[in-house]
Structure 1
């Protein structure tokens, strides 16, 4: 007997992974997606399945594609095209790319220092 992962299980795992990737707790995501936090909890435990509208709201709130949430893409990096920041960086050229890269590194370093205490 094979333990095949169902689409609902994939969605639950991907939603949790994307939420944590963005640094949100369930309440944060719920507020951004304009839905109750209990709904997020139900989606993550697999006790409820999202409607198309809920799926769309979650993808927008997480700035990630529905393909990642639904398991059509295996890596959140491959779903970056849904992230407006990623799309904007892709349109930069030359010196602007270097400035953006330096600025993003500075922000990441600042956040890393905050996380350490």
Structure 2
């Protein structure tokens, strides 16, 4: 399944309109519509936001996994993408901060 198809399917399963989902991730509806039409791809930051709103892993969202696993997958992906060149001590601090950030964002999206 293409990313655009999966995105549309997940949005509908969440009973959200394009306008509602776009608002939750802080973009315009027309930009979001381009993703569902397959015209454009979201940034990594927006992928994470979409995954959080739809309560799926980034891997599942982009089609790298057929299993919809938990938020730890999202954190691990972000950690791997952004921790190159850090010492072990820096990596430990970064991972803790990343987990705290993701938990905070998750709470804000649930309230919003």
Moved over 6 A (4+): none
- The 3-state SS of whatever aligns with 1:55 is helix
Gaps of 5+ in 1: 1-8, 83-117
Distance 1:80 1:27 in 2: 26
Give TM-score, length-normalised by structure 1. Answer: 0.55
Q: How many residue pairs are counted as aligned between the two chains? A: 71
Corresponding residue to 1:19 among 11, 17, 20: 11
Give TM-score, length-normalised by structure 2. Answer: 0.58
Distance 1:65 1:36 in 2: 23
Gaps of 5+ in 2: 72-112
Q: What is the Cα-based RMSD across aligned positions, in Å?
A: 1.5
Contact 1:10 1:69 in 2 (8 A): no
* Counterpart for residue 70 of structure 2: 81
* Counterpart for residue 111 of structure 1: none
- The 3-state SS of whatever aligns with 1:79 is coil
1:36 paired with 2:23, answer no
Distance 1:38 1:72 in 2: 26
* Counterpart for residue 58 of structure 1: 50
CA deviation profile, 1:76-115 (whole Å, cap 9, x unmatched): xx31524xxxxxxxxxxxxxxxxxxxxxxxxxxxxxxxxx
Contact 1:65 1:81 in 2 (8 A): yes
